[in-house]
């Protein structure tokens, strides 16, 4: 293939006594005019190859499938209801409020039309206790560095209070609506360049005050890569603060608003702790002495007592406790059973009183509760149907369907199965296989295998609107549940990180081999797809086992695992991947880092890299450098890169851009895996 030309430089770093080549380092500088031209040429090359008849078909089908009313689960707040909704012709979701369930909604926050290309997005929002105010974060162009605003729901106007640099801020309102605690990133100029997305601290903002004078509550002399979350008791007296630099453990602190003292509750224990603060007792969900999590409780009077003295309210089960939500009189616990949701309802004495019935191979897509109210809503979805929202009515003690999304596919035409295979070290690995009924097992079915396998994230059944055209045209879609994820507890996570990261890749390879031996597909018709950490996964696996796949689509991936901590928030991930500044961990990383293991003389599968110009999570340099490397190696198979302008890691992407980027991926897979379109 004749790829766009890329210069190659003789750069070799000596790291811990190990020579590490980096021939495409010049592509790291996105501000350089030569790099800008290179990106433009790569986009033109990709468009010329993939904007074909199949692209047009997929674009039209995706546009039709996305032309639907989408909505979130309703959040009950003091008799009001808040939710997001996107109309068929809108790019971004809008925040609405209802004063009662049976009245017309009030439109509160509408990002549509606020910026050219509709790339302004509502990143997060949090209501005050009474529902009078909503704090919300808006960012532009996918950069995720939001500005926090406050909307008065009575006047439907913003207050003058505006707080910049609040990336996915954790916000907790005081009971009287007069103030809120929040997390904020460092202001530019106050920290070294490239660290603006770090240095998270907790502040208290009183309505009407200048944010520059907000009281600093927590964060002095803390590590710059702190990840911080907060929760506030119903009384408003106690602020729980979680702080960590790792993905496998965290510390807990308690701030007393009356005394203005911060005291440690849990520090230095290699486990995770999540604090919940209802009216009468303190609850903690933890994997301390419990791989699958358990719930501990204590009184507020004894909130600072040693964690080993806390009473076990809900013991560990054989399945993972995924998350918990609280109402005034119920504890809703979501468990994962072989990667599928199950919801058990407990009272505050820890006694299970019921189980919420869910369809086979489905997941909970949100539970919205209020700690001082009994009503709640929850969403359910699966591979074969999009979100259905249910309401629990405490007056009648009944569950009823509140609203459902339109389904672009007929569930009767499809089937989902869960199968298991054995990984290299004997671990049993599950997968979901989704396709039209009547599949012929002849090894010739175009198949896309998806995986993630990192950061304790669980790959669960969910409706994949972006892949409906693939399935409608006869393709198979497979979701692998591999180690590094959270499907089977913290041990499952830890078995796929740092020096054990290769387990994630081996698990994924074993799933691919299973699909081939069971004649679902063959290497000629098998492609793999993943994004972010999943982009790293498929890139690494595509390099390690080029014989197994014909196509690899790697979206917003990491690929240079030697230099990754030097860019943006990525230094937070050394506890997941390893620290390349130490010799032992560098040696391990070099065994699987895609950028360092792809070799001359090997023909790799066709690759499509997709990235966003303003990605502040995973720098696009990873996609650029890996594209250049593979284009310099591959002689027969294609290597494409498409860089979306004015978008980031994916959050807040307008529908028009979602359709275009997905049409590229479907066109790529259809071309390489012989899907009939």
HSE-up (13 A, CA, CB side) for residue 668: 30
Q: Are residues 569 and 668 in the same domain?
A: yes
* Mean pLDDT calculated for residue range 628-650: 92
Q: Residue 479's closest CA among 554, 529, 407? A: 529
Assess if residue 184 is contained within a domain.
yes
Boundary of a domain, candidates 205, 232, 259: 232
Give residue 119's pLDDT: 85
Assess if residue 335 is contained within a domain.
no
Contacts of 453 by beta carbon, 8 Å cutoff, 6+ apart: 480, 482, 483, 484, 485, 496, 504, 507, 508, 533, 534, 537
Residue 245 CB-density burial (10 A; 0-12 exposed, 13-18 middle, 19+ buried)? middle
CB 449 within 8 A of CB 402: no
Assess if residue 112 is contained within a domain.
yes
Instruction: Give the domain CATH number at 143.
Output: 2.130.10.120
Q: Are residues 619 and 531 in the same domain?
A: yes
Q: Are residues 89 and 59 in the same domain?
A: no
CA distance 167 to 183: 8
CA distance 195 to 224: 8
Assess if residue 315 is contained within a domain.
no
Give residue 407's pLDDT: 96
DSSP state of 485: B
> How far, CA to CA in Å, does 123 sit from each of 129, 138, 369?
20, 6, 20
Residue 440 CB-density burial (10 A; 0-12 exposed, 13-18 middle, 19+ buried)? exposed
Task: Tell me: pLDDT of 573 over 90.
Answer: yes
CB 73 within 8 A of CB 389: yes
Q: Are residues 146 and 59 in the same domain?
A: no
Instruction: Give the domain CATH number at 429.
Output: 3.40.50.1820
CA distance 120 to 145: 11
Assess if residue 160 is contained within a domain.
yes
Task: Tell me: pLDDT of 302 over 80.
Answer: yes
Q: Containing domain of residue 576, as a range?
A: 12-64+409-673
- Dihedral of the CA atoms 7, 8, 14, 19 (nearest 10)? 160
CA distance 611 to 640: 11
Q: Are residues 449 and 531 in the same domain?
A: yes
Q: Are residues 211 and 154 in the same domain?
A: yes
CA distance 36 to 55: 25
CB 458 within 8 A of CB 534: no
Position 649 confidence tier, pLDDT thresholds 50, 70, 90: confident
Give residue 454's pLDDT: 98
Assess if residue 495 is contained within a domain.
yes
Task: Tell me: pLDDT of 339 over 70.
Answer: yes
Q: Are residues 418 and 551 in the same domain?
A: yes
Assess if residue 177 is contained within a domain.
yes
Residue in the block written with tokens 């990984």: 423
CA distance 279 to 419: 44
Give residue 362's pLDDT: 98
CA distance 631 to 508: 25
pLDDT in tens, 40-70: 999 999 999 999 999 999 999 999 999 999 9
CA distance 14 to 538: 28
Assess if residue 284 is contained within a domain.
no
pLDDT in tens, 494-550: 999 999 999 999 999 999 999 999 999 999 999 999 999 999 999 999 999 999 999
Q: Are residues 573 and 656 in the same domain?
A: yes
- Dihedral of the CA atoms 393, 394, 399, 404 (nearest 10)? 30
- Dihedral of the CA atoms 56, 61, 64, 65 (nearest 10)? -140
Q: Which long-range contacts (CB under 8 A, 24 or more apart) does 305-311 make?
A: 307/265, 307/266, 307/269, 307/273, 310/284
Q: Could you tell me which residues are beta bridge partners of residue 134? A: 127, 151
Give residue 648's pLDDT: 76
Largest CA distance in the chain: 73
Boundary of a domain, candidates 198, 232, 266: 232
Q: Are residues 52 and 154 in the same domain?
A: no
DSSP state of 3: P
pLDDT in tens, 390-439: 999 999 999 999 999 999 999 999 999 999 999 999 999 999 999 999 99
Q: Are residues 464 and 559 in the same domain?
A: yes
> How far, CA to CA in Å, does 355 sit from each of 333, 342, 397?
10, 8, 13
Tokens of 146: 């939001």
User: How many Å separate Cα 55 from the centre of its chain?
Assistant: 27
Q: Are residues 464 and 580 in the same domain?
A: yes
Please count the structural domains in the chain.
Answer: 2
Boundary of a domain, candidates 217, 232, 247: 232
Q: Which of 118-122, 446-450, 646-650 has the lowest mean pLDDT?
A: 646-650
Q: What percent of the chain has pLDDT over 90?
A: 94
pLDDT in tens, 76-122: 999 999 999 999 999 999 999 999 999 999 999 999 998 888 889 99
Q: Are residues 74 and 52 in the same domain?
A: no
């Amino acid at each position: 293939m004749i790829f766009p030309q890329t210069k190659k430089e003789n750069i070799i770093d000596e790291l811990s006594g190990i020579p590490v080549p980096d021939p495409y380092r010049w592509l790291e500088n996105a501000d350089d005019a030569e790099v800008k031209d290179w990106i433009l040429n790569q986009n033109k090359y990709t468009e010329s190859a993939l904007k074909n008849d199949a692209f047009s078909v997929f674009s039209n089908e995706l546009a039709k499938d996305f032309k639907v009313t989408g909505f979130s689960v309703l959040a009950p707040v003091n008799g009001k209801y808040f939710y997001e909704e996107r109309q068929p012709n809108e790019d971004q979701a809008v925040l609405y409020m209802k004063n009662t369930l049976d009245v017309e909604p009030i439109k509160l926050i509408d990002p549509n039309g606020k910026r050219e290309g509709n790339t302004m997005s509502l990143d997060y929002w949090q209501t005050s206790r009474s529902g009078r105010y909503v704090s919300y974060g808006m960012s532009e162009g996918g950069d995720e560095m939001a500005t926090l605003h406050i909307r008065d729901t009575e006047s439907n106007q913003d207050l003058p209070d505006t707080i910049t640099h609040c990336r996915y801020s954790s916000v907790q309102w005081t009971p009287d609506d007069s103030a809120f605690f929040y997390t904020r990133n460092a202001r530019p100029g106050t920290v070294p360049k490239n660290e603006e997305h770090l240095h998270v601290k907790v502040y208290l903002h009183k309505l009407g005050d200048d944010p520059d004078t907000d009281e600093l509550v927590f964060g002095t002399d803390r590590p710059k890569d702190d990840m911080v979350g907060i929760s506030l008791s119903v009384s408003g007296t106690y602020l729980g603060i979680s702080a960590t630099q790792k993905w496998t453990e965290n510390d807990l602190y308690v701030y007393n608003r009356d005394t203005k003292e911060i005291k440690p509750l849990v520090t230095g224990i290699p486990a995770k702790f999540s604090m919940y603060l209802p009216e009468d007792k303190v609850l903690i969900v933890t994997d301390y002495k419990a791989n699958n999590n358990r719930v501990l409780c204590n009184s507020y009077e004894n909130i600072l007592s040693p964690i080993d003295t806390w009473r076990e309210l809900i013991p560990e089960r054989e399945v993972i406790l995924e998350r918990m939500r609280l109402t005034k009189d119920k504890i809703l616990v979501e468990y994962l059973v072989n990667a599928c949701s199950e919801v058990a309802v407990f009272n505050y004495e820890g006694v299970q009183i019921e189980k919420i019935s869910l369809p086979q191979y489905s997941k909970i897509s949100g539970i919205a509760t209020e700690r001082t109210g009994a009503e709640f809503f929850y969403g359910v979805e699966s591979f074969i149907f999009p979100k259905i929202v249910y309401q629990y009515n405490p007056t009648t003690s009944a569950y009823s369907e509140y609203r459902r999304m339109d389904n672009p596919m007929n569930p009767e035409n499809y089937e989902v199965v869960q199968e298991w295979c054995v990984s290299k070290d004997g671990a049993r690995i599950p997968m979901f296989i989704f396709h039209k009924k009547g599949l012929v097992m002849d090894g010739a079915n175009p198949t896309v295998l998806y995986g993630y396998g990192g950061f304790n994230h669980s790959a669960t059944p969910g409706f994949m609107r972006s892949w409906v055209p693939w399935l409608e045209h006869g393709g198979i879609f497979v979701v692998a549940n591999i180690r590094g994820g959270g499907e089977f507890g913290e041990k499952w996570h830890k078995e796929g990180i740092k020096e054990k990261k290769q387990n994630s890749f081996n698990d994924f390879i074993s799933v691919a081999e299973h699909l081939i031996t069971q004649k679902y597909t063959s290497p000629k018709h098998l492609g793999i797809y993943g994004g972010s950490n999943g982009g790293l996964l498929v890139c690494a696996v595509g390099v390690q086992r080029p014989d197994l796949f014909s196509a690899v689509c790697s979206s917003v991936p990491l690929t240079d695992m030697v230099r990754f901590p030097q860019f943006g928030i990525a230094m937070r991930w050394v506890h997941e991947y390893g620290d390349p500044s130490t010799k032992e961990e560098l040696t391990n990383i070099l065994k699987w880092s895609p950028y360092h293991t792809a070799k001359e003389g090997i023909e790799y599968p066709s690759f499509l890299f997709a990235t966003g110009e303003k990605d502040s999570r995973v720098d696009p340099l990873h996609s650029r450098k890996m594209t250049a490397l593979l284009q310099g190696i591959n002689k027969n198979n294609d290597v494409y890169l498409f860089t979306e302008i004015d978008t980031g890691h994916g959050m807040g992407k307008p529908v028009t851009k979602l359709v275009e980027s997905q049409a590229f991926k479907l066109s790529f897979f259809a071309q390489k895996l012989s899907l009939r379109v």
